[in-house]
Amino acid sequence: MAMTRSRRQFLHLAAGMAAPALLSGSAWADTYPSRPVRIMVGFAAGGPNDILARLVGQWCSERLGQQFIVENRPGAGSNIATDAVVRAAPDGYTLLLVGSPNAINATLYENLDFNFLRDIAPVASLTRGALVMVIHPSVPAHTIPEFIAYAKANRGRLSYGSGGVGGITHIAAELFKQEAGGLDLQHVPYRGVAPAITDLLGGQVQVVFVNLAPSIGHIRSGKLRAIGITTAARSEALPDVPAIGEFVPGYEASSVFGIGAPKDTPAAIIDRLNNETNAALADPGFRTRLRSLDATALGGSPGDFGKLMAGETEKWAKVISFAKIRPE
């Protein structure tokens, strides 16, 4: 029931962003931004989250004439950064790079001091990114059906690595286990994706669901075998690798990103930021840079982003509850 209420609250916030702004809000937006804007990122500098935020920040800086500064607040699976934005003044000068971790953490962590769906107003959708299911060549499977059959014939003997408990590389695998008929794969969490890939290459684990960037070189060299893409559509980078959903109906898992702001941020400011974000996503040069991150541009209204994040939160809540996942 609480999850249903939160979903309604987030959709209500999103709908509010589409309503006509009050005159005072419009006047405020006419002068916005008049000083630097911070984009809070819940992960360390140099990663894909950070790079995406910097791309958006650079675009907005050039278009709006004020610096959009990325501030990294890593820790607690992005909860530290989210909490900072929740507590910030709702004036458009503190924004949040929203992502799948926010949707996951809403259920994974039971005692947060904020409610993401209630306390963060949706601004704009940015990107959707695929994961790829890669296996060690010693596994005698070249397709998703072959892997499922092999896993069922060897219950409890296969293990999968992830970048950590509760991350997208973990729950995407748990969703696959559930949707593929209740596979018995043992989870081995690592402190990051890199060591998980290292152990996959060495055969210590047999499967990893991972972003394309750290795995595509190993796939092309034949050291790892890619058998499925987690998004509904195939990846341009690996066009011959089918979507998992082609064999497991309804399966879809991806990293989604967007921009959020503290609740009660004026609708006129939300709309201005949304317009600039959509302009970036429509720009050919900007889209090319996104493809280098293996990301597909989304875009749309604040309401569209609200619906997306509410749906992601609801989906991952079911996986986390079913698998009884708890944070480390």
Label the pairing between strands 158-162 and 185-189. Answer: parallel
CB atoms within 10 A of CB 184: 12
Name the nearest CA neighbour of 180 among 251, 269, 106.
251
What local confidence, expressed as pLDDT, does residue 11 receive? 54
Q: Are the CB atoms for 272 and 259 separated by under 8 Å? A: no
Is residue 48 classed as helix, strand or coil in its secondary structure? helix
Is residue 71 classed as helix, strand or coil in its secondary structure? strand
Label the pairing between strands 94-99 and 254-262. Answer: antiparallel
- Give the whole-angstrom CA distance, residue 186 versus residue 41: 31
Amino acid at 39: I
Chain centroid to CA 38: how far? 20
The mean pLDDT value of the chain amounts to 92
193-204: average pLDDT:
96
Cis peptide before 302 (omega within 30 of 0): no
What local confidence, expressed as pLDDT, does residue 18 receive? 46
pLDDT at 26 over 70: no
User: Bigger pLDDT: 214 or 140?
Assistant: 140
- Per-residue model confidence as pLDDT tens digits over 264-279: 999 999 999 999 999 9
What local confidence, expressed as pLDDT, does residue 1 receive? 46
What local confidence, expressed as pLDDT, does residue 2 receive? 47
- Give the whole-angstrom CA distance, residue 236 versus residue 221: 18
Distances in whole angstroms, Cα of residue 150 to Cα of each of 62, 146, 175, 259, 286: 53, 6, 18, 42, 43
What local confidence, expressed as pLDDT, does residue 73 receive? 96
Is residue 196 classed as helix, strand or coil in its secondary structure? helix
What local confidence, expressed as pLDDT, does residue 15 receive? 53
Amino acid at 15: A
- Checking 307-310 for CB contacts under 8 A at 24+ apart, the result is 307/11, 307/14, 308/125, 308/256, 308/258, 309/10, 309/98, 309/102, 309/103, 309/117, 309/122, 309/256, 309/258, 310/7, 310/10, 310/11, 310/14, 310/117
Residues β-bridged to residue 37: 68
Label the pairing between strands 37-41 and 68-72. Answer: parallel
Is residue 320 classed as helix, strand or coil in its secondary structure? helix
Q: Determine whether 187 is exposed, middle or buried from the number of CB atoms within 10 Å of its CB (0-12, 13-18, 19+).
A: middle
Chain centroid to CA 263: how far? 21
- Per-residue model confidence as pLDDT tens digits over 2-21: 455 555 555 555 555 444 44
Q: Which two tokens stand for residue 324?
A: 């009884």
- Per-residue model confidence as pLDDT tens digits over 144-197: 999 999 999 999 999 999 999 999 999 999 999 999 999 999 999 999 999 999
